[in-house]
Amino acid sequence: MNTDHSLPTPDLDVIVKGSGPALLLAHGAGGGIEGNFGLVLDDLARDHTLVGPHYPGAGGSPVDPEPLDLDDLADQLVAAAVAAGQESFAVLGESLGSAVAVRIAARYPDRVRALVLTAGFPVADPVLALAARLIKSLADADQWDDVARLAYLSCLSPTDLADIEPADLDAPVAQTLAGMPPGMLDHFDLVSRVDVRSDLGIVSAPTLVVAPTGDRLVLPESSYRLAAGIPGAKLIELPGAAHILNEADRATWLHHVREFLGTLPSTTA
């Protein structure tokens, strides 16, 4: 087993569920394990051990007083998996979690059995970079309602938006505001600094890249760049799907992910 990087003592809030080959879950900025993966946790846990760490400032993980570091976050997630008894695993990354997953694969190639990267990016594209900047500016001005409006609208597809009456926005925006974790600004600060472009060519794990084509927060082209940069990566599109997958699109995602995971060599780890 590769031990090039010494693992820290894990101090993240972690969900562990199920049994079978391990899946390490890497969630997105301003999200969490339930928020990103809640629709499929029970299904995947039927035949996999799920290890879902919350980033600092999400779930029950304390806010980090220092700016988040991608290497440190990658090491923390791996440490959480090892502490849960999982020496090797596939990594399922969503949005920011895709960059975290790529860095994990680059730092721990002997531990990573596969990658699934959804709505991901190697570096923030112009839309994502602007959104991260706006979120910080609005938060600095204590305009948290507007942060929630931006976050909510950015995570819907054009089709989703076309079906919403303006008068019906208040309730979901309030729900978005209530669900924003304390570490949201720290997460988006990391989003603005992430750059895993140099890692892509050295990823050796089988990789599935999932591109929601209706994503208005992370351009689908960012997923295409991930797929183009990782040797042998398979790309699938979810036509019209938003950044946060709805129930129907998540069901399609689950079908493709299960099919991909089914091609991996069996393991008892």
Q: What is the per-residue pLDDT across 36-84, written as a single tens digit (0 to 9) for each?
A: 999 999 999 999 999 999 999 999 999 999 999 999 999 999 999 999 9
pLDDT class of 161 with cuts at 50, 70, 90: confident
- With respect to residue 23, please indicate whether it lies within any of the assigned structural domains: yes
Domain that holds residue 109: 14-126+184-263
- Given a cut of 80, whether residue 3 has pLDDT beyond it is no
What pLDDT digit, counting tens, does each position of 87-112 carry? 999 999 999 999 999 999 999 999 99
Cα distance between residue 108 and residue 166, in whole Å: 47
Question: How many structural domains are present in the chain?
Answer: 1
Asked whether residue 169 is assigned to any structural domain, the reply reads no
Which pLDDT score, from 0 to 100, does residue 20 have? 96
Instruction: Please state whether the predicted TM-score (pTM) of the whole model is above 0.85.
Output: yes
Residue 65 in domain: yes
Strand pairing category for 49-53 and 14-18: antiparallel
CA distance 205 to 119: 19
State which H helix or E strand residue 53 sits in: strand 49-53
Helix (H) or strand (E) holding 209: strand 207-212
Query: Is there a domain that residue 101 lies in?
Result: yes
Q: 3-state class of 90 per DSSP?
A: strand
Dihedral sign of CA atoms 78, 82, 87, 92 in order: negative
Which domain CATH number covers 68? 3.40.50.1820
- Residues 195-250 pLDDT 10s: 999 999 999 999 999 999 999 999 999 999 999 999 999 999 999 999 999 999 99
Q: Is residue 175 part of a domain?
A: no
Residue 238, strand partner residues:
212
**4 falls in which pLDDT band (50, 70, 90)?**
low
Residue 137 lies in a domain: no
Angle at 253 between CA 80 and CA 114, to 5 degrees: 45
pLDDT at site 17: 97
The overall longest dimension of the chain from CA atoms, in Å, is: 56
Structure token pair of residue 228: 């183009």
- Residue 164 placed within a domain: no
61 in any annotated domain: yes
